[in-house]
Chain A
Amino acid sequence: MRRLEPAAIAGVMSREVANFRTYWKGTTFSSVLEPIVYLLAFGLGLSATLVDEVNGVPYIQFVGTGMVATAVIFSSALPAMFGTFVKHRFQNTYDAILAAPVDVEELVSAEMLWIGLRSGSYGCIPLLVTIGFGLDPAPGMLLVPLFCFVTALGFAGFGVAMAATVAKIDQFNYVTALFVTPLFLVAGTFFPIDGLPQGFQVVAQLNPLHQLVELVRGGAFGYEWVDVARFAFLAGFALLTWRIAIARMQKRLID
């Protein structure tokens, strides 16, 4: 049988869809409410007291467009980490799937695709909410779901790889503290990174979330040629984490 069979990937994703139907309401509720709360707290709160605008953009719109990246990382990396670990260690789900004609490469690809699609959709919600708060819709925004999807793929791969690496679920605290939180904070969501020291600015350029933030702002306020390189960077990030996740899961799942 061939590698990466679409039927195998679709079968694994159909399991995710069947499960999603049981919990979509809660996930959707929090995905809509969270950006509203953030925009009220940071956007309206800070813009009323401390910051009026950033680089000519009203602060609420600056934060709102940046919040897309926040939504993407929290709806991709964390579900990939915890979901993969729980399915492997506690629910023995992968034992059942790998007893069918599905291999680890197909399993990981399907899990990443599902998270990418879901997170790519939920990632757009902050943008829609920001439009509700006064951001003008622009044709460039039509590409935002694609940017979110590709970034989410990368973070899904990262999460799966981490789940296949840690020995205990509480070790995710290290992953969150060392990777997820710093990436979230230096993405340029709440403040422009050009205000950071030079060294931090260089590091921030390697942050996929920062590239996503810039792409989303490009969609809202106008693209530049450098955005092609940003998208290529995100695609490369997704490709790299995909292969790492497969290698790690192969080691974890096959004795």
Chain B
Amino acid sequence: MAAVELSGVVKRFGPITAVDGLDLEVPEGICLGLLGPNGAGKSTTMRLLTGQAIADAGRLRVLDHELPADAKAARAEMGVVPQLDNLDVDVTVEDNLAVFARLYRVPDVGAAVDRALDLARLRGRRRDAVDQLSGGMRRRLLLARGLVHEPRLILLDEPTVGLDPQIRTELWTLIDNLRTGGTTILMSTHYIEEAERLADEVALMANGKVISRGRPSELIAEHAGTQTAEVYGPPDRLATVRAFAESEGLTVRPAGPAIAIVGSERAGNGAVPEDAVVRAASLEDVFVMLTGEEAE
């Protein structure tokens, strides 16, 4: 059974079409990464799923509830971890959790708070005000707040955006534990590494619709082949190499100070210089090729 089913969903904001005929199905028990550049429609999709945005067209079904009519019942069974920290900063850690346990009608608020504190590894800080916590602790608390009622489905909206690498790794471990525990996760992100690390499947989104979907390895094989060759050097040399590779029918993209020749295993003689650094093709190659955006 699918936890989330969207078909032909359209959402417009005046002249801007944020979601443009989106079809998306998330089977129960998997982590689906919604990967796309800024403005692809990921956050709008998340808001549609919580009933905080109403679609102009299409059908939305979440955990067997039709949206928007039955959005409240759907929200009762899902947890949401927002992109922006919206904790109550003057209030204690445990009160932040207790308020949401009540909002979700959890019968035993105390037990739910204790469980969430353990998940966030914040039991020792339960009586501290949130503004006394570090950035990583606050992010863990935000995640625990979304899980305080043990939801069947969790929506993670850019869960590690703006965080330093150490905190990001901490959160990835927490999310990975949820995934292995069987919780269905829909995670929007524009971090390639995050999608590769956590998602069973990735749906690549651009201009309000899914443009490709599959396991990361399948997407790489389908769109980027097996190898990518990175060529370094002065700009005029890179321009020459690029022109020649493209004349041979290869896809070339900028990669920081270098250029990357995607699918270089198909290159003919001379299309890939001998000093090129050859590596395995990656999801980043797919992302840049399909969206035309630089990856983060």
Mark A residues whose CB is within 8 Å of B: 1, 7-8, 10-12, 14-15, 18-19, 21-23, 91-93, 95-103, 253-255
Bound Cα distance A11, B99 (Å): 6
B91 CB contact (under 8 Å) in A10, A18, A254: A18
Contact of B76 with A by CB under 8 A? yes
Dominant SS among interface residues on chain A: helix
Q: Of the 9-residue stretches B47-55, B224-232, B277-285, which lies at the interface with chain A? A: B47-55
B80 CB contact (under 8 Å) in A18, A99, A102: A99
CB-contacts of B18-63 with A (<8 A): 44, 47, 50-54
Contact of B2 with A by CB under 8 A? no
> Which residues of A are found within 8 Å of B76, using beta-carbon distances?
1, 100-101
Contact of B95 with A by CB under 8 A? yes
Given contact pairs A18-B95, A22-B90, A103 touches B82 in the complex (Cβ within 8 A) = no
Selected A-B contacts with CB under 8 Å, 22 pairs: A7-B105, A8-B103, A11-B99, A14-B98, A15-B88, A22-B90, A23-B90, A92-B86, A95-B82, A96-B100, A97-B103, A98-B51, A99-B75, A99-B80, A100-B76, A100-B103, A101-B72, A101-B73, A101-B76, A254-B52, A255-B53, A255-B54
> Which residues of B are found within 8 Å of A22, using beta-carbon distances?
90-91, 129
Q: Is the CB of A1 within 8 A of B72?
A: yes
Mark B residues whose CB is within 8 Å of A: 11, 13, 44, 47, 50-54, 72-73, 75-76, 80, 82, 84, 86, 88, 90-92, 95-96, 98-100, 102-105, 129, 145
Given contact pairs A96-B82, A102-B103, A103-B72, A255 touches B90 in the complex (Cβ within 8 A) = no
Q: Give the total number of A-B pairs whose CB atoms are below 8 A apart.
A: 86
Bound Cα distance A15, B72 (Å): 19
- For residue A10, give the distance in angstroms from its CB to the closest CB of chain B: 7
B86 CB contact (under 8 Å) in A12, A18, A96, A103: A96
A99 CB contact (under 8 Å) in B13, B82, B88, B105: B82
